[in-house]
Chains A and B, each alone.
Chain A
Amino acid sequence: MIGSARYWREIPQRYRYEAAKCAKCGRVAFPPRLVCAGCRGREFTPVKLAQTGVVETFTVIHVAPTGFGDETPYAVGIVKLDDGVRVTAQITDCETGKLAIGDRVKLEFRRLQQDGESGIICYGYKFVPAIG
């Protein structure tokens, strides 16, 4: 169950793509962390994620978890954004059968799920095909 505080805490990342760049080695953490996974640095500057990237791998979900059953089949992929950060998200507005590794996609703000018990409507990013 996604409670309101838990949902609210992630809004800067899910709505505004806020990440943190390590001041020492330049690695971008998304979501932000207290310790850099690359160099153990503790100083970061806020940055915004690149909003276009390339599909590195994907799947098409046929058996969904609770809350996503109405949407099957739907694609989920790992996308390497143009700033080098990798994120997992749904890939939508495309024919799942024609999706391929290497496809260019962009981030868009979408409705993701309605959480059953708390009733919160959950928003965030999904990928859609990037033309050109």
Chain B
Amino acid sequence: MREVAVIGVGMNRWGELWEKSHRTIWTEAALEAIADAGVDRVDAMYVGCMSGGLFVGQEHLGAMLADQLGMGPIPGTRVESACASGGLAFRQACLAVASGAHDIVLATGVEKMTDVDGGAATYALSTAADQEYECYHGITFPGLYAMMARDHMHRHGTTRQQLAAVAVKNHAHGVLNPLAQFPMKVTAEQVMESVMVADPLRILDCSPITDGAAAAVVVPLDMARQLSKQPPVRVAASAHATDALALHDRADLSWLASTAKAAELAYKQAGVGPKDLSFCEVHDCFTIAEIMVIEALGLAERGKGGAAAASGLTALGGKIPVNPSGGLKSKGHPVGATGVAQIRETVLQLRGACGQRQVKNASRGLTQNMGGTGASTVVHILERA
């Protein structure tokens, strides 16, 4: 297998982009990544998208978006793994380069979510859970994470204030990200008094509905310097694991076994441990998710993620900054794009190009992108080459 590097990244401003179509927001991000890399061709492309069908009535995205890119009849493959679709598209691009099948591969993610109303969006997102044995009973995604939160609080003593601390931190980071959908500070009181969605989770515990796209150009490491003037970022690990689809089928309701497994594989591939990371970009679709994720990644002890989140450990300037981009919470969560946007942030951090939200001396970053209630996890570790 060849070693793989990222030489270009792209992303547009995320938000409610009523004036822009699914294909337009995707093409903007793709063109930016290609320009950033400085390449004049792409040999293949992968598109992470959770539900073009339910959000905009469009499938067959591999062909449609290859057509929009205008680079000829290149193979275009759509990848779906719910909210982990973007991370998995990036992984497929890495595997395509590593295997020798292609040299210059575009990894992308996109979701256009605001063309449908809230009920339809909630339904589209719920298709990541078990339709017949979870959703049939009126459960929602916030509801599933709320049940994980209540289990975590009951078993580990995690508090309402600790959940709020995750939102406060990620919004404070998002203020420093010019592309974030909600770049405003929130206080713990605002989070804890916001509208109830699924008890104990309130609206400010939830990531938003977002239109957006992100892209990255992946090449063999040994060709990176001849193809691009950008400092190459090496993909030190790429790992993927799954778990039972239905939350009620998991041995432990508030332990993310797929994240723990993918992290274990990634640490082994890269030959590093959690203490060797400069920062992480993780899947904070809900405040409780970030608490469970930092435990599964080994950044905090099992059951102690809440206390760790509230201690400042994971804030910019802390020992291990988590979500310097603002995370899904503040940056936005166009579900198929999220995993690729995590890669973009990590590449920019490793280039030292993140301005006010720059992690000092960033040399190695981890991304964790999760689908459903953790039935899929994709983990990557990137390093300065």
Contact = CB atoms under 8 A, between A and B. Distances in A.
B176 interface: no
Interface stretch (B2-10, B145-153, B210-218): B145-153
Given A37-B249, A86-B249, A101-B154, A65 B135 contact: yes
A112 interface: yes
Q: Is the interface of B mostly helix, strand, loop or mixed?
A: helix
A76 B150 contact: no
B141 to A, nearest CB: 9
Contacts, number: 99
B247 A88 contact: yes
Contacts of A77: 147
Interface stretch (B34-42, B88-96, B120-128, B231-239): B120-128
B192 to A, nearest CB: 15
A73 B137 CA distance: 14
Contacts of B196: 60, 62
B18 interface: no
How many B residues touch the partner, as a band? Answer: 35 or more
A90 B247 CA distance: 15
Contacts of B319: none
A49 to B, nearest CB: 12
A52 B283 CA distance: 36
B133 A31 contact: yes
Contact of B134 (A58, A66, A68, A88): A88
B119 A58 contact: no
B249 A62 contact: no
A88 to B, nearest CB: 5
Contacts of A30: 133
A124 interface: yes
B136 A124 contact: yes
B274 interface: no
Contacts of B200: 59
B353 interface: no
A76 B357 CA distance: 40
Interface of A: 10, 30-31, 37, 56-69, 71, 73-74, 76-78, 86-90, 101, 112-113, 122, 124, 126
11 contacts: A57-B147, A59-B150, A62-B199, A65-B138, A66-B123, A69-B119, A73-B199, A76-B137, A78-B253, A90-B138, A101-B151
